[in-house]
Amino acid sequence: MSKLTDFKLLSFDVYGTLIDWERGAIAALEPMLKASNKTDLDPKHILKVYHKLESAQQAENPTQKYSDSLATVHPHMCEELGLNHPTAEESEAFGASIGSWPAFPDSVAALQRLQKHFKLVVLSNVDNASFAQGNAGGLEGFKFDAVYTAENIGSYKPDLKNFEYMLRHVKEQFGFEKSEVLQTAQSQFHDHHPAREMGMKSAWIYRPGAIMGNRDDPVWTWKFDTLGEMADTVEKELGEQGK
C-alpha cells in the first residue's frame, strides 16, 4: 500500500470537494421555491433531480459552458419539481450563481497545508469565468499550480478525455507520471470511477451527507470525511518519516 506522500501532485475536483455545490445550488433555487410555495421540498430530492438532469445535459452538450448548461437545466428542473415556470432571466440567474457558491469551511486552510508538499491542480467541470469567481470568493484567491476546466477540454467528467487531458498536461508542465498523480474528489460518478478506469489512485473526500455524484458501488484508495482530515494524514506521514 502506497502512502499519500508517495504522490507528487493532487488533481482536485472543485465543486463538491472544495466548494459546497449542494448548498450553493439549493440557495440559488430558493427564489423559485419561495415563489412556488414549495420551500418544504426535501433538499435530497431536489439534488437527485438536479444531478440527473445536469448529467444528461452535459453528456448531450459537452462543449456548452457550465453556467449555460445550468441555465438550460433550470426550467426542466423547475418542471420536474412542480415549481413555477421560470423566466429566461431567472434561469440565467441560476446559471450565473455558481461563482457565489460557498467553500467548505476547511478547504482553504487544508489547501494551504497540502501545497507545502504537492503540486495542486484543478480538474473541474465548471467554466473558466465561474471558476475564477468561485476561486476569488469562496476559495479566497487560492493559487493553484494549474487549472483545467471542461471549457478548456471540450467535454465533461466522467468522460475519460478529461483525465487524459489532465495527465498529458501534468506530464508536459511538471514532468509527473500518472503514478505520481492522486485524484482528490468527492464525486464517485464524476471522479473516482473514471479515475479507476484510468488506472489512477484516488482520495475520496466523502463530505458526510453529500448526495451529488454518489454511486452504490464506491471505489477509492483513501477515504476522508474532509480535506482537513487528509491534510492531517499527510502531516502525520511526514512526521513519522522524520523520526
Residue ranges with strand state E in the chain: 9-12, 119-124, 146-149, 181-185, 201-205, 222-224
**Among residues 6, 13, 159, 225, which one is catalytic?**
13
In sequence order, the 6+-apart residues with CB closer than 8 A to the CB of 190 are 13, 16, 125, 157, 158, 213
**Alpha helices by DSSP H, 37-100:** 43-60, 66-80, 88-96
Residue 15 is given by DSSP the state B
Strand order in the sheet with 119-124: 146-149, 119-124, 9-12, 181-185, 201-205, 222-224
Tell me if residue 13 is catalytic: yes
DSSP, collapsed to helix, strand or coil, labels residue 113 as helix
Active-site residues, by number, are 13
